[in-house]
Amino acid sequence: MKHILRNVFVLALGLGLGIQLASGGNETVNAASNPRAGLPLDELRTFTEVFAKIKSDYVEEVGDGDLLENAIRGMLSGLDPHSAYLDPDAYGGLQEGTSG
């Protein structure tokens, strides 16, 4: 069940991003180059709806931090094979491993 919900969440997030790109992905570029430009409110609304649905209907209780961390992890891993989210412990371990 956990995997199904995760897949639904990733699908909903991907669908929201796909809709944004199809309806004018240049808005994101403009928002990045102009900090005063608006946020992608429709996509954020979709994200918060999925977030709330998981909180209210998922079989087990899920913490907000866990949901947000997994969302960030999914966003970064979806960019390319080289991008990934590291939590503070993993980042600390990486720093120790690369500094000797």
Mean pLDDT of 78-91: 93
Half-sphere exposure of 41 (CA within 13 A, CB side): 2
Higher pLDDT, 81 or 9: 81
- What phi and psi, each to the nearest 5 degrees, are found at residue 78? -80, -10
Whether 97 has a pLDDT exceeding 80, the answer reads: no
**What is the residue-wise DSSP string for 23-74?**
TTTHHHHHHHH-TTSPP-HHHHHHHHHHHHHHHHHSSS---HHHHHHHHHHH
15-58: per-residue pLDDT in tens? Answer: 565 566 556 555 555 555 665 578 899 999 999 999 999 999 99
Sequence-ordered list of residues with C-beta below 8 angstroms from that of 87, at least 6 positions apart, any chain: 69
